[in-house]
């Protein structure tokens, strides 16, 4: 059950990212296209990594 939920979440996040990319390209912001989703994910990973050892 956990694996099913994880795969559904991955698909949802992937579709969300595609939607965000489409909206950004429609708005004519190619600079934000790849930076925004990656920086968000990087911040989350950084926060989790800093919480882990401490």
- The 10s digit of each residue's pLDDT in 29-39 is 555 544 555 44
Whole-model pTM?
0.34
The pLDDT score that the predictor gives to residue 45 is 53
Tally the residues of the chain.
54
In this predicted model, what pLDDT tens digit does every residue of 4-43 receive, in sequence order? Answer: 888 888 888 888 888 888 877 776 655 554 455 544 555 5
The two structure tokens encoding residue 35: 């930076």
Alpha-carbon span 45 to 2, nearest angstrom: 21
The total number of structural domains that make up the chain: 1
The two structure tokens encoding residue 25: 């390209």
The pLDDT score that the predictor gives to residue 33 is 47
Domain residues for the domain of 12 are 2-51
Look-up: residue for tokens 């694996």? Answer: 3
């Amino acid at each position: 059950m956990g694996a099913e939920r994880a795969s559904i979440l991955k698909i949802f996040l992937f579709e969300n990212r595609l939607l965000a990319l489409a909206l950004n390209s429609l708005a004519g912001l190619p600079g934000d296209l790849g930076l925004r989703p990656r920086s968000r994910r990087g911040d989350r990973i950084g926060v989790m990594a800093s919480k882990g050892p401490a």
